[in-house]
Amino acid sequence: MKLSPRDAPGYFARPESGRTGLLIYGADTMRVALRRQEVIAALIGPAGEEEMRLTRLPASDLRKSPAALLDAIKAQGFFPGPRVAFVEDATDTAAPAILNALDDWREGDAQIVVTAGQLKPASKIRKAFENHPNAYATAIYDDPPSRSEIEAELKKSGLSDISGDAMVDLTALARTLDPGDFRQTLTKVALYKLGDDTPLSSEDIAQCAPASTEAELDDVLNIVAEGRTGEIGPVMKRLRAQGVQPVGLCIAATRHFRTLYAAASDPGGPSQGIARVRPPVFGPRRDRMQRQAQGWGAVRLEQALSLLFETDLTLRSAGRSAPDMPLVERTLIRLAMLSRR
């Protein structure tokens, strides 16, 4: 039987122990693996693998030993409880062994869980699970987790009091990170809030979110965007000592001002615009960049981007005579002065 994408998350959390099996397939191996881990843990419990109630079978081994899967579902372990026979990375070369196990499965046997990559509708394994009266087949697509799925994950970790802004930030983060990194971020959030009864806030998300690769440049970019020209020199001196390259600094400044321009030019205003930018901006940094976008306005930000593009072209040209870092520093000073107009 087919398990629809809408019903699949609920089934993964509370699978039916009396089913013959479940096929999980999709192009993103990480998403498939996370769902497989979830459903197997729900079937056999946290101690299931330690009690040897989980048998792992690489699909490539089934070509050499077609009876291995059938033996795994029939075998009775020392510990009582539900059992799972897990076939990993299945392709149609393993179809004879999997189809044979589906046909010979009886009540009390281990449940068969199969994972696979993208399967065509004509795939023998996919058709077998979809047409089986007591088994499910479900596709995992590259969609980010929904709000309800994020809330369910946080609830498992003991977090149920979540502010609206924090949920907006988490939803935006889910669209940016790959599934494994996002799951690690949720785990980090849960540990960060351990023993803290206050609602989960945007500031908490900002503390736990993966750091931006331009985090060390934030100081000088905020100084420039806020027109604090007198502070540019000392910060630039520190950046030079840290080995920051002029081209990298110019690229970081361009990204910062592109984000401000996206926020300032949004039809719904800077507050809605800053919430839509990718990668997402969190907590106090989001509020700061929103104020910067409001102060600059779309017209002056267009001028700032033109100046940065011109500087970038000069840095990359073969015939330039001016030193690179002073050239970038002069551009940043001009930008800071532009913000005051």
298: in domain? yes
The whole-number average pLDDT for the span 231-254 is 85
Residue ranges in 242-316 assigned as alpha helix (H): 246-264, 270-276, 283-316
In contact, 308 and 232? CB cutoff 8 Å:
no
Token pair, residue 2, equals 């087919």
Alpha carbon distance 324, 306 (integer Å): 18
Alpha carbon distance 225, 258 (integer Å): 12
Range of the domain at 90: 8-139
The whole-number average pLDDT for the span 130-141 is 95
Summarised one tens digit per residue, pLDDT across range 167-209 is: 888 887 887 777 878 888 888 888 898 888 888 888 888 788 7
| pLDDT > 90? residue 74 | yes
Q: Residues 249, 170: one domain?
A: no
Kindly report which listed range (46-50, 221-225, 276-280) carries the lowest average pLDDT score. Answer: 276-280
Instruction: Read off the pLDDT band of 286 (50, 70, 90).
Output: confident
The whole-number average pLDDT for the span 61-72 is 92
Q: Residues 158, 188: one domain?
A: yes
Kindly report which listed range (9-23, 59-73, 177-191) carries the lowest average pLDDT score. Answer: 177-191
Instruction: Read off the pLDDT band of 341 (50, 70, 90).
Output: low
- 279: preceding bond cis by omega (within 30 degrees): yes
Token pair, residue 290, equals 């929103």
**Which is nearest to 289 in space by CA: 317, 312, 316, 259?**
259
The whole-number average pLDDT for the span 130-150 is 88
Q: Residues 198, 232: one domain?
A: no
Burial bucket for residue 138 (CB in 10 Å: 0-12, 13-18, 19+)? buried
**Which is nearest to 166 in space by CA: 192, 188, 184, 189?**
189
| pLDDT > 80? residue 10 | yes
Q: Residues 232, 315: one domain?
A: yes
Q: Residues 75, 182: one domain?
A: no
Establish how many alpha carbons lie within 13 A of residue 186's alpha carbon, considering only the half-sphere containing its beta carbon: 25
Alpha carbon distance 249, 305 (integer Å): 14
- 66: preceding bond cis by omega (within 30 degrees): no
**Which is nearest to 23 in space by CA: 181, 178, 139?**
139
What is the per-residue pLDDT for 238?
80
**In the chain, % of residues over pLDDT 70:** 96
Residue with tokens 């965007």: 225
Alpha carbon distance 198, 214 (integer Å): 30
H/E segment holding residue 152: helix 147-156
Residue with tokens 């076939």: 87
**Mean model confidence pLDDT for the chain:** 88
1: in domain? no
**Which is nearest to 232 in space by CA: 245, 219, 241?**
219
Summarised one tens digit per residue, pLDDT across range 30-61 is: 889 989 999 999 999 989 989 999 999 999 99
Q: Residues 111, 153: one domain?
A: no
Radius of gyration for the chain, computed over Cα atoms and rounded to the nearest angstrom: 27
Summarised one tens digit per residue, pLDDT across range 92-123 is: 999 999 999 999 999 999 999 999 999 999 99
51: in domain? yes
Instruction: Read off the pLDDT band of 214 (50, 70, 90).
Output: very low
Alpha carbon distance 299, 262 (integer Å): 12
Q: Is the pTM of this model over 0.75?
A: no
Alpha carbon distance 189, 183 (integer Å): 10
Domain ends where: 208, 228, 251? Answer: 208
What is the per-residue pLDDT for 322?
66
Q: Residues 299, 242: one domain?
A: yes
Token pair, residue 27, equals 């192009």
| pLDDT > 60? residue 213 | no
Provide the number of structural domains found in the chain. 3
Domain harbouring 48, CATH code: 3.40.50.300
Residue type, 315: L
Domain ends where: 190, 208, 226? Answer: 208
